[in-house]
Amino acid sequence: MDTRLRVNEALKQAMRDKATSRLATLRLINAAIKDKEIAARIDGDEIEIGDSEVVAILGKMTKQRNESVRAYEEGGRLDLAEQERSEIAIIEEFLPQQLDEDEVANAIRAAVAEAGAESIRDMGKVMGVLKGKYTGQMDFGKVGPMVKDQLCQGGNC
């Protein structure tokens, strides 16, 4: 079942269960998806965004909330930080399983080989391969330096 359908089913269940905080988060997810569809309209035609775009939206929502958690903790607002953490947990239910460190390292090696990358100038190609195959399964902010290290091992930096 695609991610959007899973979100809608969870939304209906949250309504039945009268789970107000869960319902609010699921409504935020739906609103973000609808906003993306509205932005993607071309010539007034209705366009339904695909599963990869939905996963990207969820990833962005998670990242925003992680930043908010840090800000709230620094400001001493632990109650708001906890609320953001509960939203993150709900959003992450719909994201693909994250790869562990070994799987990420193997994916980077495979992407370097697939892209035929030989130097740091080929980093964009490698990242493109990784984003095409592993969107939502790894944190590309952390993967970038790992790709750079892999490409620099040959002394081509």
Q: Which parts of 75-100 fold into alpha helices (H)? A: 78-92
Q: What is the CATH number of the domain that holds 132?
A: 1.10.10.410
Helix (H, G, I), strand (E, B) or coil at 112: helix
CA 79, CA 93: separation in Å to the nearest integer? 22
pTM recorded for the entire structure: 0.72
pLDDT at 45: 65
37 & 57 share domain: yes
Question: In 3D, which of 94, 100, 96, 93 has the Cα closest to residue 133?
Answer: 96
Grade residue 155 by pLDDT with cuts at 50, 70 and 90: low
The range of the structural domain enclosing residue 15 comes to: 3-92
81 & 105 share domain: no
Q: What DSSP designation does 42 have? A: B
Residue range 18-35, pLDDT digits in tens: 999 999 999 999 999 998
Residue range 52-102, pLDDT digits in tens: 788 889 989 998 999 999 999 999 999 999 999 999 999 999 988 888 888
pLDDT at 39: 82
Token pair for 75 = 């400001």
How many Å separate Cα 125 from the centre of its chain? 20
CA 139, CA 18: separation in Å to the nearest integer? 33
By percentage, how much of the chain surpasses pLDDT 70? Answer: 94
Q: Which parts of 75-156 fold into alpha helices (H)? A: 78-92, 101-115, 123-134, 140-152
Give the angle 119-124-129 at the CA atoms, nearest 5°: 105
Grade residue 44 by pLDDT with cuts at 50, 70 and 90: low
When pLDDT is averaged across residues 134-144 and rounded to a whole number, the result is 82
Q: What is the CATH number of the domain that holds 66?
A: 1.10.1510.10
pLDDT at 136: 74
Domain final residue, candidates 59, 92, 125: 92
At residue 154, does pLDDT exceed 70?
Answer: no
When pLDDT is averaged across residues 104-122 and rounded to a whole number, the result is 87
15 & 80 share domain: yes
pLDDT at 8: 93
| Residue 143 φ/ψ, nearest 5 degrees | -75, -35
81 & 110 share domain: no
11 & 87 share domain: yes
88 & 108 share domain: no
